[in-house]
Amino acid sequence: MLTQTCTIRNAQPDEYAALGQLMVQVYSQLAGFPKPHEQPTYYHMLANIGDITAKPGAELLVAIDGAGKLLGGVVYFRDMQHYGSGGTATQEQLASGFRLLAVAPDRQGHGIGKLLTQACIAKAREHQNKQVIIHSTKAMQTAWGMYERLGFTRSEDLDFMQGELPVYGFRLQL
């Protein structure tokens, strides 16, 4: 069921803290995903998600409902060199990527993650890139199905280990 009145747009600076809190909430509740005490640097980055907009070509996108409520967000990277992952993804040419997609728990399953993903794909096309790169973990397998329905395929060449956590690469050819 798709949320009827959802707008995807760039986040405003006064929304950064709320989006950071939402991301911390969502990621810390994922079964099998490292908790804040296990990866404090990662959760600090999530809590301060607005800082990522200082990277060249990085955009912080949000989903907002008709009443102005924050429903979710994602970070889009126009150029993979600023993506900030392990592995080889940052060396990909003519590629965009996105990371840190999160949807409010009470709005999950309503198509908001799909809308945020589609917005990133549209931006990659606007920037005339040839592919979109993303990463996910086993704790996020619900999202894997959505990514695959949108045309992403597993790309083992993009896999890497984040400490003890296996991270799996996906790519969408445009």
Please name each of the domains of the chain with its CATH number.
6-173 (3.40.630.30)
Structure tokens at 130: 């040839």
Predicted local distance difference test score (pLDDT) of residue 3: 44
Q: For residues 143 and 156, which has the higher predicted lDDT (pLDDT)?
A: 156
In this predicted structure, the answer to whether residue 15 has a pLDDT above a threshold of 80 is yes
Q: DSSP letter string over 86-108?
A: STTGGG-SSEEEEEEEEE-GGGT
Asked whether 151 and 172 are in contact (CB, 8 A), the reply is yes
Token representation of residue 128? 């005339």
Tokens standing for 106?
């009470």
pLDDT computed for residue 141 by the predictor = 79
In the three-class reduction of DSSP (H, G, I as helix; E, B as strand; rest coil), residue 61 is classed as: strand
Residue with tokens 């959505």: 146
Contact 115, 121 (CB under 8 A): no
Write down the pLDDT at residue 110: 92
- E strands within 44-94? 58-65, 70-77
* Average pLDDT, integer, range 60-67: 95
> What's the rounded Cα separation, in Å, for the pair 161 and 150?
25
* pLDDT higher than threshold 80 for residue 160: yes
Residues β-bridged to residue 102: 73
Higher pLDDT, 39 or 152: 152
